[in-house]
Amino acid sequence: MFKNLTGYEIDSLPHSFNLTDGHVFRRWSAAEEAIIDRSAQLFKDNTRQRQAEIEREYIEDFLLLARQTFDDQDLGYLTCFTASMAFEIVANYLRLNNLRLALIEPCFDNLADIFRRHQVPMHPIPDFLLESTGDTFERVLNGLDVDAICLVTPNNPTGSALTEGNLRKLIRYCADRRKLLILDNCFRAYLPRKMVHDQYRLVLQAGIDAVLVEDTGKTWPTSEIKAPFFAVTRARGLYDRIYDIYTDFLLHISPVGIKLMHEFIRLSLQDDMASIHKVVRVNREALYENLAGTFLMPCERQFASVAWLRIDFPLTGLELKRILGEHGVFVLPGNYFFWHDRRQGDQFIRVALTRDADAFRNAAVLLGDVCRKVASDAELPAGRAR
């Protein structure tokens, strides 16, 4: 058994039916393949003298696609190799300033592990609060004894997303109490367009301290070439303090990687993310079809790029993961997503949907067949075998 979810993901890399990591691995469309075919020219056109310009143009179009405000006067934008590196830098800031953190639960375990490694005191916030109604969210916020709040929206693994109304409440709370807001938006691309609201504008209007983290590896099939970045508010000097930590880690990331990602973003601007959403929709339909009648119950928001499945059977996620692995299909156990109390995740597994449709359907068929066999074998009288 591995110490974290990434260990399971690495171990599953050689396998055809690897549904562990949420990164995008699928065949390119014709338009995407044309971008790859032109990629050699990106190296030839590369010049480090244009680094700041290349980054600015890329981030401006990224936020245009995300329907977020771009403002390089009141926000500083810092590119990095992975979104996890952004959180490593933020965790350094929290530790150096003795700040306590409220962190969403469940979430991908490396997020909690990064903060824990820096000995940042943490308090869990259940992710159902992102979409709660009435005064529930405000009551929980008012009961917190922390200095910073970190939420993933939409959340991984459930797909729960912070509503605009709750974001306004959260921002008002941070403004009144002078709290730092940290938003992990790594899965924002999969939000239905009608659910998108301008986080950046609301943050800037309130004048609060905030860090907003963006990613690309969960959205486009670029073989782990990424161009994540995080935005930091400038108003009260937060950007300058975080920038000092950032420069201990990075000079800059490759302009070639940025320009390649910029090409994919321009392509997604043409169809307003429709092709990105289609991949997940088709694979979710195949998964649900093959899980019908089994003990696996989908309980994620149905736009998320991962499926969060509850096991209605006397079997834990770790046990089911082992059984599925013996049959050649690989998933993640749910308990690791609950960093404060792993027992809450014992009856869940997570399945990544961003794969080739044909391969995914075959994996879904196998997943369903194995679950039906497990249930059927459990019904046999003691001492009989099938």
pLDDT digits (tens, 9 = 90+) for 143-179: 999 999 999 999 999 999 999 999 999 999 999 999 9
| Lookup: tokens for 128 | 């159902």
Domain 41-270 carries which CATH code? 3.40.640.10
Q: How far apart are CA 94 and CA 99, in angstroms?
A: 5
Whose tokens are 């310009």? That residue is: 53
β-pairing, 306-311 vs 296-298, is: antiparallel
Of 43-47, 50-54, 65-69, 192-196, minimum mean pLDDT range:
43-47
pLDDT in tens, 271-328: 999 999 999 999 999 999 999 999 999 999 999 999 999 999 999 999 999 999 999 9
- Model pLDDT, residue 14: 85
Secondary structure element (H or E) that encloses residue 333, with its range: strand 332-333
Q: Which pLDDT does position 163 carry in this prediction?
A: 97
Please list the alpha-helical segments (H only) found in the chain: 5-12, 30-37, 39-44, 51-65, 83-96, 109-117, 136-142, 164-177, 199-206, 238-249, 255-271, 274-291, 317-326, 357-378
pLDDT-derived band at 1 (thresholds 50, 70, 90) equals low
Coil, strand, or helix at residue 379? coil
Q: Are strands 122-126 and 229-233 parallel, antiparallel or unpaired?
A: unpaired
Which two three-digit tokens encode residue 43?
Answer: 């190296």
pLDDT band of 218, cuts 50, 70, 90: very high
Give CATH for domain 5-28+273-377: 3.90.1150.10
Measured between alpha carbons, how far is residue 142 from residues 98, 137, 138 in Å?
A: 21, 9, 6
C-alpha atoms less than 13 angstroms from C-alpha of 126 in its C-beta half-sphere = 9
pLDDT tens profile 68-124: 999 999 999 999 999 999 999 999 999 999 999 999 999 999 999 999 999 999 999
Q: Where in the chain is the domain with CATH 3.40.640.10?
A: 41-270
Res 47: pLDDT: 76
pLDDT exceeds cutoff 50 at 270: yes
Cα atoms in the Cβ-side hemisphere of radius 13 Å centred on 173:
22
- Range(s) within the chain of domains with CATH label 3.90.1150.10: 5-28+273-377
pLDDT band at 345 (very low <50, low <70, confident <90, very high): very high
Residue 51, C-beta contacts closer than 8 angstroms, at least 6 positions apart: 252, 255
Residue 121 near residue 100 (C-beta atoms within 8 A): yes
Using a pLDDT cut of 70, give the percent of the chain over it: 98
